[in-house]
Amino acid sequence: MGKSAVRRRVTVFISMVSAMGVTAALGGCSGGTAATPNATLKLVAADYGDSEANSSQKYWDKLVKEYEKKNPGIEIDVSVYSWNEVDAKVKQMVADGEAPDMAQIGAYADYAAKGQLYEVNQLLSIPVQADFVSRLAEAGEVGRVQYGMPFASSTRLLFYNKELFDEAGLTPPRSWSELAAAARTLKSRGVETPYALPLGPEEAQAETMMWLLSGGDGYTGTIGSYGLDSDQNIATFNWLKNDLVGKGLTGPTPPGKLNRADAFEAFTRGEVGMLNGHPSLMQAAEKRGVEYGMVPMPGVDGRAKATMGVADWMMAFKENGNGEEIGEFLDFVYSKKNVLEFSHEYNLLPVTTSASEAMAADKNDKDLDPFLSELENAELYPVAKTSWAQVSADIKQQIGKAVGPNARPSAVLGSLQQAASAAESSE
């Protein structure tokens, strides 16, 4: 994905009747007046493509053109940026007093906490708001009020190389002990990386959360406060350090220096026996001719209590006062057709119930069934916390040290917990 902004201005029109057949008035009511003619809405969006050929700009261009044919009256200016810069771009725009009307980025809580966002029920028609997958809608709430609208989602499963497993006479692991035993067998047969453990700074917070969940805990406790150094979490990292990393089962690159993208690439070269992955890894492996299988993440003594879910977010800023117009447009964005088209293009899971049901019923999407079935039970990052961005950044930089040769996981997790508690207290 390029680092320069890809911009395109297109004209679309909004009428009194939304794409879902319900007029979107503020407060989620069905009354209201027509959108103000000749207003301009600005949308900043992230790029999910991996090349110019499938840039998200093409998705937005197509969607906006279709909207233009049906609805007269409003201009929409869409700017697409790479994930490396989109969050920072929006942050700077807001700081400069030039907030976009809509932003489709990675986090919403900071803006919600400062009173800068519309509540979702001030924007969307009731049928559209009710269509969000409940688990994702809940993750978009701050103080039980929804500000973040899920835009894209995925869950994670344990991928394994079928050819390597078949040659070794192995079956997919269902517990930690089975995973470690399979890794030992693969190592004895010359597999370079029996289990890839990417705890490098790219996405260490994801691999960490998957393992914490499989160990029976997570980032937060039952009351919602951070609990990174809980007894269960310390036990999880002790096991990783002693039973996987310490036994040489995680490959030649130290986990703290292994990034997720590099682990995925090694899997598509046939060098990795097992790793946690999301739907996009399926297509990448198939392109390279790697046969793979997928199973839920193993837990200590059986299946993990939950899998990790990830969502990206759409939000609407109040600064320009275009709530009604924004709601009309987003009703169209979240139609079943458009949600499905986006999900298919980028190998992601739908964020609405109607699109999820359509995908589950489509035989062409059967390979996504295991991910879909995990979504309702998925645990998401604590994105409603304004402190999460800093805590996540700390985890990315520090957690790899917990499995180093001379490390004490309890000390690393304890240090992270201290920093998390301090960040949480300032929310």
Q: Mean pLDDT lowest for which of 66-75, 114-123, 392-401?
A: 66-75
410 and 234 in contact (C-beta within 8 Å)?
yes
Tokens representing residue 13 in the block: 């029109």
Side chain identity at residue 294, one-letter code: M
Who contacts 392 (Cβ-Cβ below 8 Å, separation ≥6)? 205, 381
Who contacts 309 (Cβ-Cβ below 8 Å, separation ≥6)? 135, 136, 153, 154, 155, 374, 375, 378, 379, 380
pLDDT band at 20 (very low <50, low <70, confident <90, very high): very low
- For range 330-350, the mean pLDDT: 95
> Over 50: is that where the pLDDT of 31 sits?
no
d(CA 376, CA 371): 10
pLDDT of residue 10: 37
d(CA 55, CA 181): 42
* Tally of CB atoms within 10 A around 43: 22
- The residue with greater pLDDT, 271 or 23, is 271
Side chain identity at residue 19, one-letter code: A
d(CA 261, CA 203): 9
d(CA 155, CA 163): 24
> Over 60: is that where the pLDDT of 181 sits?
yes
pLDDT of residue 254: 97
User: Which CB contacts under 8 angstroms, 24+ apart, belong to 178-183?
Assistant: 178/298, 179/274, 179/298, 180/243, 180/244, 180/247, 180/249, 182/273, 182/274, 183/244, 183/247, 183/249, 183/273, 183/274
> Over 70: is that where the pLDDT of 323 sits?
yes
User: For 213-252, how does the pLDDT look when each residue is reduced to its tens digit (9 = 90+)?
Assistant: 999 999 998 788 999 999 999 999 999 999 999 999 999 9
User: For 269-301, how does the pLDDT look when each residue is reduced to its tens digit (9 = 90+)?
Assistant: 999 999 999 998 998 999 999 999 999 999 999
279 and 366 in contact (C-beta within 8 Å)?
no
What Cα–Cα distance (Å) separates residue 11 from each residue in 37, 55, 276, 315, 331? 12, 20, 42, 21, 17
User: For 246-263, how does the pLDDT look when each residue is reduced to its tens digit (9 = 90+)?
Assistant: 999 999 999 999 999 999
56 and 49 in contact (C-beta within 8 Å)?
yes
> Over 70: is that where the pLDDT of 43 sits?
yes
d(CA 402, CA 408): 6
Tokens representing residue 394 in the block: 């700390």
Who contacts 234 (Cβ-Cβ below 8 Å, separation ≥6)? 409, 410, 413
How far is C-alpha 249 from the geometric centre of its chain's CA atoms? 28
DSSP β-bridge partners for residue 292: 161
Nearest to 46 by CA among 30, 58, 57, 61: 57
- The residue with greater pLDDT, 310 or 14, is 310
> Over 60: is that where the pLDDT of 33 sits?
no
pLDDT of residue 105: 95
- For range 172-178, the mean pLDDT: 97
DSSP β-bridge partners for residue 43: 78, 102
* Tally of CB atoms within 10 A around 1: 19
> Over 80: is that where the pLDDT of 347 sits?
yes
Output the average pLDDT for the chain: 89
Q: Mean pLDDT lowest for which of 27-36, 109-118, 151-160, 321-330?
A: 27-36
Beta strand extents in 332-413 (DSSP E only): 379-380
Using a pLDDT cut of 70, give the percent of the chain over it: 91
- The residue with greater pLDDT, 339 or 373, is 339
d(CA 68, CA 87): 28
Nearest to 103 by CA among 116, 121, 122: 116
* Beta strands 141-142 and 145-146, pairing class: antiparallel
Tokens representing residue 407 in the block: 């490390």
d(CA 117, CA 418): 30
d(CA 268, CA 172): 18
> Over 80: is that where the pLDDT of 170 sits?
yes
> Over 70: is that where the pLDDT of 336 sits?
yes
> Over 80: is that where the pLDDT of 71 sits?
no
- The residue with greater pLDDT, 374 or 421, is 421
- For range 301-317, the mean pLDDT: 91
- For range 166-194, the mean pLDDT: 98
What Cα–Cα distance (Å) separates residue 174 from each residue in 27, 207, 395? 48, 18, 27
pLDDT band at 8 (very low <50, low <70, confident <90, very high): very low
Nearest to 152 by CA among 322, 280, 10: 280
pLDDT of residue 74: 78
333 and 63 in contact (C-beta within 8 Å)?
yes
pLDDT of residue 38: 66
**Domains recognised in the chain with CATH numbers:** 6-153+310-380 (3.40.190.10), 157-306+387-425 (3.40.190.10)
How far is C-alpha 71 from the geometric centre of its chain's CA atoms? 32
- For range 150-163, the mean pLDDT: 96
Nearest to 261 by CA among 84, 5, 416, 43: 84
- The residue with greater pLDDT, 22 or 153, is 153
Residue that has been written with the tokens 């310490």 in this structure: 246
